[in-house]
Amino acid sequence: MTPFSQLLDRLIFTPARNTKLALIVDYFRHAPDPDRGWALAALTGGLTFPGVKAGAIRELAMRRVDPVLFGWSYDYVGDLAETTALIWPERRTNRAWPTLGEVVERLRATARADAPDVIEEWLDPLDATGRWALLKLITGGLRVGVSARLAKVALAEYGQVDAAEIEEVWHGLEPPYGELFAWLDGRAPRPDPEDKPVFRSPMLAHPLEDAEVAALDFGAFLAEWKWDGIRVQIARAAGEARLYSRTGDDIGGAFPDVLDHVTFEAVLDGELLVVLDGEVRPFNDLQQRLNRKTVTAATLRKHPAFVRLYDILFDGAEDLRALPLTERRARLEAFVAREAPRRMDLSELVDFADRGELERMRADARSGATEGLMLKRRDAPYVAGRPKGLWYKWKRGPLTVDAVLMYAQRGHGKRSSFYSDYTFGAWRAHPRHRGAGTGTGRQGVFRLHR
């Protein structure tokens, strides 16, 4: 646990992305197997211990600490792992620190009723940092400023391979990723995902800045509406279908109403929306479906999911990514006509005569429930990442509000490090009665722009 706890401690106090990458690469270089594989699983959100609940950690802490004191401390600190790690009374012991692999393997083999005793046995020899790292590992949600994408980029740097290669083999592997590290170390060939529906790194767009508009050759681009949903990738191979977010997270469990209708073999790029009675609903409706492992029948009826298709990467086993956009678009149109996929349709191309017409449509985008326009070069291949000059997002201007921030309240639990509750004062409409009226809202509920 010593190298892992040191890694987490350094990451949480390191704001710079490149420094975080260097720390993770150094850990991969020096940590043994399987510890580095379990650490990778923890950093990417792929390591859980269902047999250990937060309540068990709280009860364990109150075996050693007065419950009232613990309650006050937890209310102030806001994080269960940090509170327990700091308040835990240290006892002298000759026990050695457990290894990361030992923690994972033993917890997976321990019954739920016995887990608190096992954790208590580990907490005693650890220092405060070690206890915090252990409890963060067990309870999940490390919150050290490392996304799954950043961890995969660190893997690519460690093995001197392209990050897109990591993405393409990732979903065919399981922790502790011995096969993956053997390849990156040069001891084995690249893992073969075989016929699994793996994630392919998406092509992303640059914001179109006002200074770039005049110089842009609009005739070289196709235009589409930019819908207010989330970017997804649908992949099906060898009879297995998956739905991925833009960052490669498998979100299919929350969207069975989409996956149940994926009967074709292909990899498609599109926008996940909620569509009810033929109308695209606001993003807030889609939020009711996000970040869930399962979904109720009532939610499926109230917020039915739908995918608006933008692009086709694979048609069956045929890789189409090297084709220019116009040819991929023709293949996508033929695919939709042939397969008639349910819960999906084809993104509409926007006809325009000149830049002025596009500017007027962009300005009026809000009335059509869209965020603006997408501009994509006609001759562009499908390239992973954010290549300059090929795809642009030309979003409508944001709405603004004239208000006074009056109060801000720190969050609790997972949001203990953030000010997430705000009270604003809004000016009265009549200038003779100008004063403050109040209203409250949580960060993220009022989405002025994304």
As a whole-number percent, the residues of the chain with pLDDT over 90 amount to 67
Confidence at residue 367, expressed as pLDDT on a 0 to 100 scale: 78
Backbone angles phi, psi at 22, to 5 degrees: -65, -40
| Residue 373, SS3 per DSSP | strand
Supply the DSSP symbol for 96.
P
Report whether pLDDT(258) > 90.
Answer: yes
pLDDT recorded at residue 424: 85
Please give the structure tokens belonging to residue 61. 């802490």
According to the model, what pLDDT value does residue 409 have?
Answer: 78
Provide the residue ranges of all domains of the chain, joining segments of one domain with +: 2-139, 206-395, 403-442
For residue 269, pLDDT over 90 is answered with yes
Q: How do residues 8-46 score in pLDDT, each as one tens digit? A: 999 999 999 999 999 999 999 999 999 999 999 999 988
Taking the C-alpha atoms of residue 390 and residue 383, their distance in angstroms, rounded to an integer, is 9
pLDDT, tens digit, 9 for 90 and up, residues 49-107: 888 888 899 999 999 999 999 999 988 888 899 999 999 998 888 888 999 999 999 99
Give the rounded percent of residues in the chain with a pLDDT score beyond 70: 93
Residue 295: pLDDT over 80: yes
- Angle (nearest 5°) at CA 439 between 435 and 440: 145
Is 206-395 the same fold as 2-139?
A: no
Quick one: pLDDT at residue 218?
94
Write down the pLDDT at residue 394: 94
pLDDT in tens, 147-168: 998 999 999 999 999 988 998 8
Question: What topology is assigned to 206-395 in CATH?
Answer: D-amino Acid Aminotransferase; Chain A, domain 1 (3.30.470)
More confident residue, 257 or 408: 257
Span 124-138, pLDDT tens digits: 999 999 999 999 999
Predicted confidence at residue 416, as pLDDT, reads 59
Query: pLDDT tens across 181-234, in order?
Result: 999 999 999 998 777 898 998 999 999 998 899 999 999 999 999 999 999 999
Query: pTM value?
Result: 0.76
Task: Please report the sign of the dihedral spanned by the C-alpha atoms of residue 157, residue 160, residue 166, residue 167.
Answer: positive
CATH code matching the domain that covers 2-139, chosen among 3.40.50.720, 3.20.20.70, 1.10.3260.10, 1.10.3720.10: 1.10.3260.10
